[in-house]
Amino acid sequence: MTYRVERLCSLLRQEISDLVQHHVKDPRLGNLVSVTAVEISPDMRYAKIFVSRLGNDNEKKETLSALSSASGFIRHELSERMKARRIPELTFKLDDTMEKADRVLRIINEISSEEGH
């Protein structure tokens, strides 16, 4: 990935995170949504926004639905905030890395406690 694309990903992650936390007023979001990563296509027309949210599967689906509904608003706000020729089309994806890491840590702890006995 080029420096320019990395920089754009980082800036998009920061700006979208701020918008989701402070400006998108949708009760389906809750208050535990975080933007974990952004991937931009090589032509910079499309961006995958990875988000993490604590909660059950239904709450996570509602969060993705809310973010998809707000994608037009978010793109508009990004165009106001950023000096870019084109704001990419946004697609929101669920990032379950934290849950997987938690599961791995629990397994490690179980194995450690079994070996200690």
Pair 55, 98: CB distance under 8 Å: no
Point out the residues of the chain with pLDDT beneath 50: none
Arch. (CATH architecture) of 3-116? 2-Layer Sandwich (3.30)
HSE of 11 in the Cβ direction (CA atoms, 13 Å)? 14
Q: What are phi and psi of 41, to 5 degrees?
A: -65, 155
Sheet holding 89-94, edge to edge: 33-40, 46-53, 89-94
pLDDT of residue 114: 83
State the pTM of this model.
0.82
**Domains of the chain by residue range:** 3-116
